[in-house]
Amino acid sequence: MIVLLHVVRRCYLLSLCGIAMRSKTKLLSIIETLEKIYVPWKWEIRDPFKILVSTILSQRTSWRNVRKAVDRLESKIGINPKNIAEANLENIKECIKVAGLYNAKSVRIKEIARIIVEKYDGDLSKVLNLPLEDARKELLSLPGVGFKTADVILLFAANKRVFPVDTHIMRISKRLGIVKGRFNYENIRHVWEKALPRDKYAVAHILLIIFGREICKSGKPLCDKCSIARFCKFYEKLKGGARGESSKERVAY
Ligand code: SF4
């Protein structure tokens, strides 16, 4: 009896390993397919505070507007914690107006700058030098900094082992059906982190955003033009005669 239980348990564990391995291969194949189609843009900003400011500015606007706002803020005030903390709020608003929601964004940027000056002597790299989980915790304690912003800073400014998940990546992950269990930020992040080699995180993050903007759009995905449809649960349902995403299931990202 004990031997039988042992065999059953072993088979179960092996089948779980098999599923995990298949899922891992699938996600890697997805990224390799996207690599053949798109040229990922180069992530130019490396300064953690500038990434933080850019990510706040990017909420509900295009990257073109973010770039304009960043350029203006840089030339008029200088994007570093000390300058922003000391700057007049109205001047900050004026610089970032093009990025929209400038009242709320300017207050948040100034407040974060003040905290960084007071708590870390104006040097955010002190936070990034901490072990990953500690650095993440510190960043998340800043007002208005959520998981995505923290992880973007950790990956692109400090090359930490973390995969940032934005709204495009959430939507694509949901449609692909890759998350077993609760569908939330942390689970999605862990799925991608486990599946991809460390040196693919940055490029995969960018490729998925491009793919989300161009093909797997939030309103109506262009499934007939999709090169990764063979990996997609949503597409499987669609072709199986189901209606695909019902209005109830529609992804709200
Ligand atoms: S098949 Fe459609 S839903 Fe699935 S990943 Fe491609 S575009 Fe998105």
Using a 6 Å CB cutoff, which residues line ligand 1? 172, 175-176, 215-216, 221-223, 226, 228-229, 232, 234-235
Q: How far is the CA of 170 from the centre of ligand 1 (A)?
A: 13
Domain 48-156 in CATH 3.40.605.10? The answer is no
Q: Looking at ligand 1, which residue's alpha carbon is closest to its atom 2? A: 223
Pocket residue to mutate for ligand 1, from 232, 237, 239, 250, most atoms within 8 A of Cβ: 232
Question: What confidence score (pLDDT) does residue 63 get?
Answer: 83
Please give the biggest Cα pair distance in the chain: 77
Q: Looking at ligand 1, which residue's alpha carbon is closest to its atom 4? A: 232
Q: How far is the CA of 176 from the centre of ligand 1 (A)?
A: 7
- Provide Rg for the chain, Cα atoms: 21
What DSSP line would sit under 176-237, residue for residue? HT---S--SHHHHHHHHHHHS-GGGHHHHHHHHHHHHHHTS-SSS--GGG-TTGGG-HHHHH
Sequence spans of domains, the chain: 22-42+160-253, 48-156
The C-alpha atoms of residue 21 and residue 62 are separated, in whole angstroms, by 37
The highest-level CATH class for domain 22-42+160-253 is mainly alpha
Pocket residue to mutate for ligand 1, from 26, 176, 217, most atoms within 8 A of Cβ: 176
Question: What confidence score (pLDDT) does residue 247 get?
Answer: 38
| 18, pLDDT greater than 50 | no
Task: Label residue 183 exposed, middle or buried (CB < 10 Å: 0-12, 13-18, 19+).
Answer: middle
**The one-letter amino acid at 101:** L
Q: How far is the CA of 5 from the centre of ligand 1 (A)?
A: 42
Distance set, CA 175 to CA 12, 82, 171, 231 (Å): 27, 43, 6, 10
Comparing 60 with 196, the larger pLDDT belongs to 196
Are 73 and 53 in contact by the 8 Å Cβ rule? The answer is yes
Q: What does the pLDDT look like over 20-44, one tens digit per residue?
A: 556 778 999 999 999 999 988 777 7
pTM of the model: 0.84
